[in-house]
């Protein structure tokens, strides 16, 4: 049975999980667009969240801030990004999270993508990975590190030589794959051939057409992804699922039911 949960508010992830009838949730620790570092909104802080989640049997995943870009050649972005990545690794580990999801980032238009791959290697080597860091595929940008399969392969080839390579996993986002121009018919096999693993699925429908480059999520059945393909990706990946779809508990419960009916 595939476990299906959702991205929720960080104030009380346990209550949010219970409201959705799930045992897995994802959330931010602080501002997803800021460099100020992680914050714990849960009453009692990190220790209480870890203890209460364990007691409730709820698995926690943390999404790192969107602004992290360890691939860039711009030192004014790359160096703060590495610092912020370490801070979120530490914070996520302190609450017993199962993984920290990080976007692949991008290089500048004039840059050789190989520089971005090597910067990922340096970031993995420079970070104390106290829990799995799950690199996520992204939807848009010709200079992105993880939009296209060949770029994902470049990142993986670069980081394969690092001592902490076993602590780097992959998060497959269905909306991003569709919008990024990667056929969902083969995406699970394509990714596994490159990474050897899929640790988490972000299951999202897309408001936009295939290869649009637009990152706009939709509830299941309300977007442009073929329902059977969307369900097949979730079924074939065989990993925990996080829905980053619009709405609150009621909408997420409906998405869970929609998906369970199709993967049964």
| Confidence check: pLDDT of 186 > 90 | yes
Mark residue 30 as left, alpha or beta (left: phi above 0; alpha: psi -120 to 50; beta: remaining).
left
Model pLDDT for residues 249-260, shown as the tens digit of each residue: 999 999 999 999
Full-model pTM: 0.98
Q: Token digits for 233?
A: 């990706």
For the segment 125-167, what is each residue's pLDDT rounded down to a tens digit?
Answer: 999 999 999 999 999 999 999 999 999 999 999 999 999 999 9
| Closest by Cα among 253, 91, 239 to 171 | 239
User: 136 near 102, Cβ under 8 Å?
Assistant: yes
Q: How far is residue 76's CA from residue 151's CA, in Å, rounded to a whole number?
A: 23
Structure tokens at 108: 């500048």
- Give the H/E segment covering residue 5: strand 4-7
Domain ranges of the chain: 4-263
Where residue 1 falls among pLDDT bands split at 50, 70, 90?
confident
Helix (H, G, I), strand (E, B) or coil at 257: helix
CATH number of 4-263: 3.20.20.150
For residue 20, the 8-state DSSP code is H
Kindly give, in sequence order, each residue whose CB lies less than 8 Å from that of residue 264, ignoring residues fewer than 6 positions away: none
Tens digit of each residue's pLDDT (9 = 90 or more) over 103-113? 999 999 999 99
Q: Return the closest-CA partner of residue 68 out of 38, 101, 102, 118.
A: 102
- List the one residue out of 228, 218, 255, 259 whose CA is nearest residue 6: 255
Q: What value does the mean pLDDT of the chain take?
A: 97
């Amino acid at each position: 049975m595939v476990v299906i949960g959702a991205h929720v508010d960080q104030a009380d992830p346990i209550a949010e999980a219970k409201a959705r009838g799930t045992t897995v949730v994802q959330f931010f620790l602080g501002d997803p667009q800021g460099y100020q570092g992680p914050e714990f909104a849960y009453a009692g802080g990190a220790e209480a969240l870890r203890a209460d989640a364990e007691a409730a049997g709820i698995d926690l995943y943390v999404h790192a801030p969107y602004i992290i870009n360890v691939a860039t050649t711009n030192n004014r972005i790359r160096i703060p990004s590495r610092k912020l990545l370490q801070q979120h690794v530490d914070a996520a580990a302190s609450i017993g999270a199962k993984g920290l999801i990080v976007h692949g980032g991008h290089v500048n238009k004039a840059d050789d993508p190989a520089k971005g791959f090597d910067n990922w290697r340096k970031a993995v080597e420079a970070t104390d990975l106290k829990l799995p860091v799950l690199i996520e595929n992204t939807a848009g940008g010709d200079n992105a590190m993880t939009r296209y399969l060949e770029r994902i392969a470049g990142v993986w080839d670069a980081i394969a030589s690092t001592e902490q390579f076993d602590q780097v996993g992959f998060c497959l986002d269905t909306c991003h794959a569709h919008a990024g121009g990667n056929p969902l018919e083969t995406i699970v096999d394509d990714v596994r051939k490159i990474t050897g693993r899929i640790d988490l699925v972000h299951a999202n429908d897309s408001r936009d057409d295939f290869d649009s480059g637009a990152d706009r999520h939709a509830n299941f059945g309300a977007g442009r992804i073929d329902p059977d393909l969307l369900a097949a990706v979730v079924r074939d990946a065989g990993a925990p699922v996080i829905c980053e779809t619009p709405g609150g508990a009621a909408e997420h419960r409906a998405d869970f039911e929609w998906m369970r009916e199709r993967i049964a």
